[in-house]
Structure 1
Amino acid sequence: MMKKKFTTIKIKTLLFALFLFFGKFYSQTNNGAVGINTSSPNLNSVLDVVSGSNNKGILIPRITELQRNAIVINKPADDGLTIYNTTEDCFNYWSLADNEWKSVCGQLGKAVFTVDCSVSKAMGSYVKGKELTNSNYLTISVNVTKVGNYTISGTTSNGYNFYGTGVFLNTGVQKVQVLGQGTPQAIQTDNVTLEANGTEVTCTPAISISVLSPAGTYTMSCGSATVNGVYKVGTALSASNTITLPVNVSAIGSYTITTNTVDGISFSGSGTFTATGNQNITLSGTGTPASTSVKTITMTSDSQGGVSTTCSVNVIVVIPKKTVLHLGLETAYGYSAYTGPSRSLMDSPSNFGTTASSIVKYEGFNHISLGNSPSSAAVQTALNNKPDIVIIGYNYTPDATEAGYIANYLNKKGVVIALTDNTVAAQNLFLGIFSDPTISTSYGAGAGSVYALANTDDPILNGPFGDVRGKNWGEDASTTVNVSGLTSGFIPYSYAQPINNTTTRTGISGLRNNSLNFVWFGDGGFLSNENANGSQFNSNTIEPFVAPGSGGYFPVQKSAYGYAGNGFSAGSMQVQNSILFANMIAWAIQKSEFNGINTQ
């Protein structure tokens, strides 16, 4: 036993001596450099590793990012400490200067993110033999938990693929466009195989793409296209936002219809016609409206055979709420539109609302009323608060000071609808607004007078609630006021002469100024109807306003109105006061949104 122990000690001593000898030899002859698989290591290195058969590499410690972060750093001594980060799939080193771990893949390193397959999809149309363009891409929804570089690819076995790379600068949910390239070779449905930063992403179900046959021949019926759904600023389009487009197919095949992008939104549709003749196709919308402007969308088809391949359709975006200041007597008759059927007409979502069937796409009103006799100070304060629209009704009578406040409001692009049958009130308004001493007002015909409307193409005479050009409006229980001495800049809606009266009268009884947002009719009871349900009041000479609650307070004509005269029998005329008023409100909403006092 002792002999064996002695021999072991001798061997260890010999090996140690040899190590010291060769270490001293290499240190002396190679200036301290150590070589592995080389007898002449690089003189500028302390370690030179050579792959003897040129088929091997070097491994440094491989640890996760959590394990890396658990290292207790000795800052001066560990400057340059290097590891391979398996979480990031990249080399990292400790930087004393920046006091942090750095990635050699870039300062940010590789991003960490997950893919939400449920809202990721392929965009564009895919046709056999047609090379992919910039409209062919994958939109991939990701949730980034660590910023950095990313590479996303999608592959198919049908001659085309997708590839995208970039940098995520923020964490959170984001969407990435991964462009396609190549040419589909066969008519089939392809499942896309996704990879994200080199790791396969399993989507169930997979993102699928239908490759279509070559295009057929068809024409679009542009004038019959229907825009579906509600469009709202800041709200992304959903499955309900579509365009129904009638087409006439003369040769079967695939179809692809795309649109331009207008203010953040666009539409597209593709498929295969299996029969000729008239049929409807659906274009699906995408994007988020950025403004309330009307968007003219141009549709472009891939139809063959030299037929027309473009047409347009307008998309209406919901206008946000507006504040209305009411000045007038608050009674059930609805003189100021703060009460009565005229208020119900304004607040009806089928008239002004956000539903797909709303006549005017609009979020509704904030109503404020100062009543019939506010102080001048109250009027000034209210107008300085910049209401979007002001409606004046019976029997608010502004003095010269208040008329000046209203004029100042109009000059700042405020909107005023004035329905007044007091000569002093009308005189003050017109003189305050237009500063023309030649303007005068006078009383005209009385209750039950019927006035012919001009046959002029105008947004109030011919608006979303009806075309009343060449028709009539009716005076309520009082006496019509007429204005004379007007110069240019006015669109007359009606004159002083009633159709059912032979007494000669001059002046204008209804108008719109074409530079200011100002509409006026010379009757304070223009909106009068004491029936809360808005149904027609049984009288030929009073309450000409009709908007039945049973129809959603939709405005209709009063079918029997007017006193007898000038060849007309009592109640034989029809008047359109409620339709005119609804068109006024639609006009006022547009003006206040796009050219109003609060327009930015």
Structure 2
Amino acid sequence: MKTNSTTAKVKALLLAMLLVFGQFYSQIQNGSVGINTSSPNVNSVLDVVSGSNNKGILIPRLTETQRNAIVINRPQDDGLTIYNITEDCLNYWSLADNEWKSVCGQLGKAVFTVDCSNTKAMGTYVKGRDLTTSNYLDISVNVTKIGNYTISGTTINGYNFYGTGTFLNTGTQTIQVTGQGTPQNVQTDDVSLSANGNAVTCTPAVSVNVLSPAGSYTMSCGSAIANGVYKVGTALNSSNTITLPVNVASLGSYTITTNTVDGISFRGSGTFTSTGNQNITLNGTGTPSSTAVKTITITSDSQGGVPTTCNVNIIVVIPKKTVLHIGLETAYGYSAFTGPSRSLMDSPTNFGTTASSIVKYEGFTHTSLGNSPSSAALQTALNAKPDIVIIGYSYTPNATDAGYLASYLNRKGIVIALTDDTGTAQNLFRAIFSDPTISTSNGSGAGSVYALSNTDDPILNGPFGDVRGKNWGEDASTTINISGLTSGFIPYSYAQPINSTTARTGISGLRNSSLNFVWFGDGGFLSNENANGNPYSSNTIEPFVAPSSGGYFPVQKATYGSAGNGYSAGGMQVQNSILFANMIAWAVKQAEFSGINTQ
């Protein structure tokens, strides 16, 4: 009896506790279970209420590895739900797709690291000036799992950065996180980075230099200098800058930017600490996409209504070109395959990739046919499409050869012909100008000096000097004159020497106005037997001068010419080497932008 009584009491106590517990924690009504509610939602199996509105519900929390270790029973586990603590998101098993899905998006949260060394703040930051689309964090990341990302950067100076998106590929990539707000103080701010909710520590920190409001200054664009070498496909570096002179009227910050042309741009910012004339540096960025000359527009933020834009040109290195030489291969350099004329072409002082090179150019590939190639050999060589052909003493093309050269010119080839044979010149001109009435004649002899025209022309006035109104000199033989031309050419010099009273008619030097053809009537135009390019001692032969001591830079021969017509022997100056260097500079440009290999 005693035992039964005790058992009854225990059962009664348990029933009472269950009733109390049930009243407080749950109610079952119409098949629905409620926790902390006496009226569970009839459409739910379980209705959970936070009694004090300060608690939530926790479901199983698993890492992604633990989640993937679950052995799925596909029919029965459709909709199985866990909280993925690796990506901080609810996941569920989808029978239809036979995979785990994330409620944060189909891809879920990305996994990536931030490369602090390649992360920087872009744009200019000025006290009191709202940030614009030019103000952003340029962030390099390495993505190991595709998915969604959120990146923020905060400062304590009135502005911040925020960006969100989706990585669709793994690997290294760069994203832009836009800025917003208004800097409040002039100072250097460290940016606190966060990636998908996790703090990113950068040492040193990504920093922003907030400038004072802009000062007043004027730019001296005509004196701006582009520094460094620019090459297609090569990213600009610290040597690629623009030195810009300015005159500061009132102190303050400056921000100077340029447009982007063919992939490159420049910018510079800072604070003026003194007034007056001074230089500032604009740093380049980007990679040139073409060899075209780039007209860069510079824009400043100067206050006070002063001019705020101007232009500067950026020259890009031209790739290497092939040159076919025809003529004697001797120390005199008749065809520029040998001698000082070849040294002039190959000198990086003249044609090179250094910052000081006169023509920014990768150099030449030289080939030669010698002095007497067969017509078949000439045709084969021209069909290979050399960029430039240089003809010198004593090559004598027949009518067939001249036709091949004319065809090459009509296909945008370039020919520089320096010849002093009447038959050769006549064959060339009749073929090139398609005029059988053109004739040639012998002119004056060794030491003759011819006046150059004042025409504004890239060969008379080129990167190696302005020789308009000056002279060129005949070598040891006899000048050839052309007669019968009526149009289609630009005359450089006529048949009458300045140091002769014997009347001569015709033309002794010219450029075709539609084809890439330059001619002077002297096969020894480039003659100089001194390997060092110094002036040869004679006043009547070897007019070419390009001293090795100056990097084979072309200079005039200061004492030249035979006596006559009031001139003493050696009393004139001739510019053969400068003319030739300008011819080559012109030919390189034509080959790059309008040559046989640009078609």
Q: TM-score by structure 1 length?
A: 0.90
1:59 maps to a residue whose letter is L
Counterpart in the other structure of 2:415: 416
Counterpart in the other structure of 1:516: 515
**Structure 2 Cα separation of the partners of residues 76 and 398 of structure 1:** 90
**Structure 2 Cα separation of the partners of residues 76 and 446 of structure 1:** 106
Matches within 5 A, 1:413-452: 413-452=412-451
Contact 1:319 1:362 in 2 (8 A): yes
**Structure 2 Cα separation of the partners of residues 567 and 590 of structure 1:** 40
**Superimposed CA distance per residue, residues 90-123 of structure 1 (whole angstroms, 9 cap, x where no aligned partner):** 3344445555444333333333322222232222
**Structure 2 Cα separation of the partners of residues 78 and 370 of structure 1:** 83
Structure 1 residues 149 and 376, CA gap change in structure 2 (3 angstroms): farther
Structure 1, 90-99 or 267-276: larger mean CA deviation: 90-99
Structure 1 residues 329 and 256, CA gap change in structure 2 (3 angstroms): same
Structure 1 residues 546 and 98, CA gap change in structure 2 (3 angstroms): farther
Structure 1 unmatched runs, 5+: none
**Structure 2 Cα separation of the partners of residues 276 and 417 of structure 1:** 54
Matches within 5 A, 1:121-520: 121-520=120-519
Quote the offset at 1:164 in angstroms: 2.4
Tell me the SS of whatever aligns to 2:342. Answer: helix
Counterpart in the other structure of 1:106: 105
Structure 1 residues 567 and 119, CA gap change in structure 2 (3 angstroms): same
**Superimposed CA distance per residue, residues 376-428 of structure 1 (whole angstroms, 9 cap, x where no aligned partner):** 22222222222222222222222222322222222222222222222222222
Quote the offset at 1:84 in angstroms: 3.4
Contact 2:492 2:511 in 1 (8 A): yes
Quote the offset at 1:76 in angstroms: 5.5
Structure 1, 268-277 or 76-85: larger mean CA deviation: 76-85
Percent same amino acid among aligned pairs? 83
**Structure 1 Cα separation of the partners of residues 225 and 499 of structure 2:** 43
Q: TM-score by structure 2 length?
A: 0.91
Matched residues, number:
585
Tell me the SS of whatever aligns to 1:150. Answer: strand
Quote the offset at 1:591 in angstroms: 1.1
Quote the offset at 1:323 in angstroms: 1.6
**Structure 1 Cα separation of the partners of residues 423 and 80 of structure 2:** 91
Quote the offset at 1:167 in angstroms: 3.0
**Superimposed CA distance per residue, residues 206-245 of structure 1 (whole angstroms, 9 cap, x where no aligned partner):** 1222222222111111111111111111222111111111
Quote the offset at 1:294 in angstroms: 0.9
1:91 maps to a residue whose letter is L
**Superimposed CA distance per residue, residues 541-577 of structure 1 (whole angstroms, 9 cap, x where no aligned partner):** 2211111111111111111111111111111111111
CA RMSD of aligned residues (A): 2.8
**Structure 1 Cα separation of the partners of residues 308 and 178 of structure 2:** 26
**Structure 1 Cα separation of the partners of residues 73 and 432 of structure 2:** 80
Quote the offset at 1:81 in angstroms: 4.4
**Structure 1 Cα separation of the partners of residues 449 and 252 of structure 2:** 60
2:500 maps to a residue whose letter is N
1:595 maps to a residue whose letter is S
Structure 1 residues 89 and 353, CA gap change in structure 2 (3 angstroms): farther
Contact 1:30 1:40 in 2 (8 A): no
Quote the offset at 1:87 in angstroms: 3.1
**Superimposed CA distance per residue, residues 330-353 of structure 1 (whole angstroms, 9 cap, x where no aligned partner):** 112111111111111111112111
**Structure 1 Cα separation of the partners of residues 380 and 93 of structure 2:** 66
Structure 1, 130-139 or 77-86: larger mean CA deviation: 77-86
**Structure 2 Cα separation of the partners of residues 124 and 82 of structure 1:** 46
Tell me the SS of whatever aligns to 1:175. Answer: strand
Quote the offset at 1:482 in angstroms: 1.7
Contact 2:29 2:40 in 1 (8 A): no
Contact 1:259 1:300 in 2 (8 A): yes
Quote the offset at 1:265 in angstroms: 1.3
Contact 2:75 2:95 in 1 (8 A): yes
Tell me the SS of whatever aligns to 1:425. Answer: helix
Tell me the SS of whatever aligns to 2:437. Answer: coil
Contact 2:83 2:89 in 1 (8 A): yes
1:537 maps to a residue whose letter is Y
Structure 1 residues 162 and 538, CA gap change in structure 2 (3 angstroms): same
Structure 1 residues 366 and 110, CA gap change in structure 2 (3 angstroms): farther
1:305 maps to a residue whose letter is G
Structure 1 residues 515 and 69, CA gap change in structure 2 (3 angstroms): farther
Quote the offset at 1:67 in angstroms: 4.0
**Structure 1 Cα separation of the partners of residues 427 and 77 of structure 2:** 87
**Structure 2 Cα separation of the partners of residues 311 and 232 of structure 1:** 24
